[in-house]
Amino acid sequence: MKKGLIFALALIFGLALLIGPSPFEQNATAGKTIFVTIGTGGITGVYYPTGGAIAKMVNKKRKEYGIRATVESTGGSVFNINAIMSGDLEFGVAQSDRQYQAWNGLANWKDKGPQKDLRAVFSIHPETVDLIAAVDAGINSLQDLKGKRVNIGNIGSGYRKNAIDALVANGLDYKKDFHAESLKAAEAPGLIQDGRLDAAFYTVGHPSGYYKEATSGKRKVKFIPITNIESLLKKYPYYAKAVTLVTKFYPGAANDQDVPTFGVKATFVTSAKVPDKVVYAIVKEVFDNFETFKNLHPAYAGLTKQNMLEGLSAPFHPGALKYYKEVGLK
Ligand code: GLU
């Protein structure tokens, strides 16, 4: 009897903890400083400085909004979406294809189903899917990856699936045809220089520290064209043809021409559980000070307020929508 009572109390208490407002939600309504964390990617990517740029915009008005944003280096898109859904992060940067898959319950979310609380805030810079290889490895096409050591990306990354899609479109199986590594992007350039990797995939905006590092070492590195992608473009609505401006951004690469490939967009996402006023404040600071934001990274060169509302699959967060309606963008 007593045991039963203790059990019942424990259950009620446990349930209250589960369904009560989180400390984050309590602060958001009590007028205390609200701490939000933005999930990004490896520190040599563009997500990390992007998280920094967004945090910088909103932290400038810390007194006015009572919001303090910090940035976390993470494994990338898939990690960020999952951490936002579990409440471990409030915001994150994620590839547009990953946002589409999470919202629709595809790819990494096939078993878990659609991520119904995922919300779009805005989209950011374009990203290309690239493959680099050491020149001395004799790799000139995806076919030449056979038997080589190739990084296809860590599980939490967005780019791993892009690499696999490109391989499949070219009739290659990463489990059979070569030695696939599942390393975080930041590790790959160093391992190529050390001779422990022959090639590596990555999906990122340009210019990035990753490719600057990869193309400025002793071992010469080049970008490999990613072709035979027509089947991908037909099958997946989120992929588009693209060109990587290698000659402009990475003069150290052993390419004398820009390289054809396909690409996606980086997007900024959150959860339906994050209060409207927090999302509104971030969007307002970025859009009201658009030129300042645009100057924070060269990858933002092509951004317009209009195209930052494109390429999104999850519904807009109401806090973001409120701002877009106020200024006539929606
Ligand atoms: N697109 C990459 C990913 O989600 C991250 C790129 C970056 O950090 O800039 O895996």
Q: How confident is the model at residue 321 (pLDDT cuts 50, 70, 90)?
A: very high
Do 234 and 131 belong to one domain?
yes
Do 84 and 139 belong to one domain?
no
Residue 303, pLDDT > 70, answer yes
Do 167 and 238 belong to one domain?
yes
Q: What are the tens digits of pLDDT across the range 166-194?
A: 999 999 999 999 999 999 999 999 999 99
Do 318 and 256 belong to one domain?
no
Whether ligand 1 lies within 6 angstroms of the CB of 46 is answered as yes
Do 96 and 161 belong to one domain?
no
Q: Structure tokens of 96?
A: 């547009």
Whether ligand 1 lies within 6 angstroms of the CB of 44 is answered as no
Domain boundary among 240, 265, 290: 265
Q: What is the pLDDT of residue 267?
A: 98
Position 160 in a domain: yes
Classify residue 28 as left (phi > 0), alpha (psi -120 to 50) or beta. alpha
Position 87 in a domain: yes
Q: What are the tens digits of pLDDT across the range 105-128?
A: 999 999 999 999 999 999 999 999
Domain boundary among 227, 248, 265: 265
Furthest-apart CA atoms within the chain: distance in Å? 81
Q: How confident is the model at residue 30 (pLDDT cuts 50, 70, 90)?
A: low
Provide DSSP, 125-191. Answer: EEEEEEEEEEGGGT--SGGGGTTSEEE---TT-SHHHHHHHHHHHTT--TTTSSEEE---GGGHHHH
Residue 36, pLDDT > 80, answer yes
Q: What is the pLDDT of residue 103?
A: 98
Q: How far is Cα 196 from Cα 192, in angstroms, rounded to an integer?
A: 6
Do 56 and 90 belong to one domain?
yes
Do 135 and 106 belong to one domain?
no
Q: What is the pLDDT of residue 307?
A: 98
CB 68 within 8 A of CB 108: no
Q: Structure tokens of 119?
A: 């919300």
Q: How far is Cα 162 from Cα 233, in angstroms, rounded to an integer?
A: 12
Which CATH number goes with the domain that contains 257? 3.40.190.10
Q: How far is Cα 62 from Cα 287, in angstroms, rounded to an integer?
A: 17
CB 196 within 8 A of CB 134: no
Position 215 in a domain: yes
The atom of ligand 1 lying closest to the CA of 40 is 8
Q: What is the pLDDT of residue 32?
A: 86
Q: How far is Cα 172 from Cα 39, in angstroms, rounded to an integer?
A: 32
Q: Structure tokens of 1?
A: 């009897």
Ligand 1 centroid from CA 266, angstroms = 8
Q: How far is Cα 46 from Cα 264, in angstroms, rounded to an integer?
A: 14
Question: How much is the pTM?
Answer: 0.92
- For residue 313, CA distances in Å to 143, 167, 317 come to 33, 25, 12
Do 85 and 134 belong to one domain?
no
The atom of ligand 1 lying closest to the CA of 50 is 9
Position 194 in a domain: yes
Residue 208, pLDDT > 70, answer yes
Residue 243 domain boundaries: 127-265
Probe ligand 1: pick from 81, 130, 202, max atoms within 8 Å of CB? 202
Position 24 in a domain: no
Q: Residue 217 burial (CB < 10 Å; 0-12/13-18/19+)?
A: middle
The atom of ligand 1 lying closest to the CA of 156 is 10
Q: What are the tens digits of pLDDT across the range 51-93?
A: 999 999 999 999 999 999 999 999 999 999 999 999 999 999 9
Probe ligand 1: pick from 162, 164, 183, 204, max atoms within 8 Å of CB? 204
Do 98 and 170 belong to one domain?
no
Do 112 and 185 belong to one domain?
no
Ligand 1 centroid from CA 172, angstroms = 23
Q: Structure tokens of 115?
A: 């991520």
Position 284 in a domain: yes
Sign of CA dihedral 187, 247, 258, 256: negative
Domain boundary among 213, 245, 265: 265
Q: How far apart are the first and last CA of the chain?
A: 61
Whether ligand 1 lies within 6 angstroms of the CB of 42 is answered as yes
Do 257 and 135 belong to one domain?
yes
Do 121 and 219 belong to one domain?
no
Position 111 in a domain: yes
Provide DSSP, 215-226. Answer: TSSSS-EEEEP-
Number of domains in the chain: 2
Whether ligand 1 lies within 6 angstroms of the CB of 154 is answered as no
Average pLDDT of the segment spanning 206-230: 98
Candidates 258, 229, 210; CA nearest to 162 is 229
Query: Average pLDDT, whole number, for the chain?
Result: 94
Q: What is the pLDDT of residue 1?
A: 43
Ligand 1 centroid from CA 151, angstroms = 14
Q: Structure tokens of 212?
A: 């600057």
Q: How far is Cα 90 from Cα 214, in angstroms, rounded to an integer?
A: 32
Position 285 in a domain: yes
